[in-house]
Structure 1
Amino acid sequence: MEQPVLTEATDPFCLDQADAVAQLTGAPWGRYAVIGDSLSAGTGDPTPGYRDQGWSDRLAGILREVRPDLEYLNLSEIGATTARTLEAQAARMVAFAPDLLHVPCGANDIVRRKPDFDEIERTLRQMYDLAKGTGALLTTFTLGRAYVVPVFPDWPERIAAVNEIVRGLASEYGALVVDMWDHPVNDRDNLLSEDRIHFSTSGQAVMAAEMVKKLAGSLGRTTSA
């Protein structure tokens, strides 16, 4: 079946700016930091009908309307593994003293011939220990099933394994998880960028909306599904 052509204004999974701001009105966060890789940065190709902006910058813009004095620091680096994030970004993250902090989900840790999932969990745990030590509310997300690397026949199993690690650590450390693994947006033909890895800006808009809903839920707000 041919999928309908959506725009940001008609996409049922998006929030317009006013609705997003309303959901987070009164939110306490004034120092928002993002660490990790290109997924944290919100890298993605433009989608016609959608604002050309990644999810993390979108969320910062919404939070800045709630708190005009918001300080925002995005340290994300394309290609960064969790180990690289710890090495190159952790010190600046701690020095920034965030009260809201997004941590990555290990996507680049599984792009190797034979991932060591025990080592991945240990390294992610080090990151969570540092992140939790800032006192910030932590957020993260799982990888969507639309993300496929054909050269690795076991890629779905790799995604499932790292997603389970992320869910487990998030539960242990009290992080909010936006679970994108089976989100309906995965079924869209135009979800992925040309590289077949990153969400296009249509997906970035959905990610931002899901983050807003998750944060609103942490404030005790009732949000639409």
Structure 2
Amino acid sequence: MGTDSMLTAEVSDPFCLAAGEATALLAGHPWHRFAILGDSVAEGLIDPVDGYHPLAFPDRVRAELLHERPGLASLNLGRRNLRAAEVLDTQLGPALEFRPDLALVICGANDAMRPGYESRADAVDTTLTAIVRPLQDAGAQVMTVSLFVMPQYPSMPAWLGPAFSRRMTLLGRRTAALAATLGTIHVDLATHPAIALGEVLTGADGLHGNGRSHAIAAAEMIRRLSREIQGA
């Protein structure tokens, strides 16, 4: 993308892409129309980190796909604070009208954030299915993701932090299982090795990812897309 010289930390990060690696991994990719649906993560909230790419991972993936196919059309419908049902109600229709052949769906965290998610988890799965299936039926390959789950969220209220981590773990497991059932292109970040090493992956708000976490997520998604390309 012509920015490798600026990514001094990223290109030497063992969890990120080396200089020029995205180009090699996505060479000859088949996608022409890319849609992004979801919440604040899909929208692209990011706390930049010096030496790492400034784009959030959904838009980073879009930019790398565009670099390899300059005619790629894209649409990011992501909006912060939305629960899965709100993504279904407000974004599925516009996404289908866009006619993507590749779609990234990121939602559920705002459902998991709220107490009582455990009792609503089946309904959230049903809603995610109602988003993914119509996109697939319309000819799109759908990407899903289980987001990073920190063992602690120290900036969150003490009564919420540990419970939120447990609920996000549950969401990650359920999303991965649903992805296997639906046949999505899934990326599981919930147990990424960087978490076990105690790396700081959250930004100033203590909840959303920082620039390094987005670079790691982009690397995992691009590698996963590359495997899809090779298997096509």
TM-score by length of 2: 0.87
Deviates more, 1:152-161 or 1:112-121: 152-161
CA–CA separation in structure 2 for the residues paired with 1:204 and 1:40 = 11
Identity %: 32
CA–CA separation in structure 1 for the residues paired with 2:171 and 2:208 = 17
The Cα of 1:189 is off from its aligned counterpart by 4.0
1:103 counterpart SS class: strand
1:38-92 deviation per Cα after TM superposition (whole angstroms, max 9, x unaligned): 1123311111111211111111111112111000111000111111111111111
Tell me how large the CA RMSD over aligned residues is.
1.8
The structure 2 residue matched to 1:140, chosen from 123, 141, 144, is: 144
The question of whether the paired residues in 2 share the 8 Å contact of 1:132 and 1:173 is answered with: no
Which residue identity lines up with residue 50 of structure 2 in the other structure? Answer: P
The equivalent of 1:190 in structure 2 is 200
Are residues 1:118 and 2:118 paired?
Answer: no
The question of whether the paired residues in 2 share the 8 Å contact of 1:105 and 1:162 is answered with: no
The structure 2 residue matched to 1:208, chosen from 215, 218, 224, is: 218
The Cα of 1:145 is off from its aligned counterpart by 2.1
CA–CA separation in structure 2 for the residues paired with 1:43 and 1:17 = 24
The Cα of 1:17 is off from its aligned counterpart by 5.4
CA–CA separation in structure 2 for the residues paired with 1:58 and 1:28 = 18
CA–CA separation in structure 2 for the residues paired with 1:37 and 1:131 = 17
The equivalent of 2:5 in structure 1 is none
The equivalent of 2:91 in structure 1 is 89
Q: Quick one: structure 1 residues 75 and 94, their matched pair in 2 at CA, closer, same or farther if it must change by over 3 Å?
A: same
The question of whether the paired residues in 1 share the 8 Å contact of 2:144 and 2:184 is answered with: yes
Gaps spanning 5+ residues in structure 1: where? 1-5
Q: Quick one: structure 1 residues 91 and 59, their matched pair in 2 at CA, closer, same or farther if it must change by over 3 Å?
A: same
The Cα of 1:32 is off from its aligned counterpart by 0.6
The structure 2 residue matched to 1:127, chosen from 102, 122, 131, is: 131
Deviates more, 1:110-119 or 1:79-88: 110-119
CA–CA separation in structure 2 for the residues paired with 1:126 and 1:175 = 13
Deviates more, 1:208-217 or 1:160-169: 160-169
The question of whether the paired residues in 2 share the 8 Å contact of 1:59 and 1:212 is answered with: yes
The question of whether the paired residues in 1 share the 8 Å contact of 2:30 and 2:229 is answered with: no
The Cα of 1:154 is off from its aligned counterpart by 2.6
Structure that is richer in helix per residue:
2
CA–CA separation in structure 1 for the residues paired with 2:121 and 2:42 = 21
The question of whether the paired residues in 1 share the 8 Å contact of 2:12 and 2:18 is answered with: no
The equivalent of 1:3 in structure 2 is none
The question of whether the paired residues in 2 share the 8 Å contact of 1:99 and 1:135 is answered with: yes
TM-score by length of 1: 0.89
The Cα of 1:108 is off from its aligned counterpart by 0.6
CA–CA separation in structure 2 for the residues paired with 1:78 and 1:84 = 11
Q: Quick one: structure 1 residues 65 and 17, their matched pair in 2 at CA, closer, same or farther if it must change by over 3 Å?
A: farther
Q: Quick one: structure 1 residues 192 and 104, their matched pair in 2 at CA, closer, same or farther if it must change by over 3 Å?
A: same
Which residue identity lines up with residue 33 of structure 1 in the other structure? Answer: A
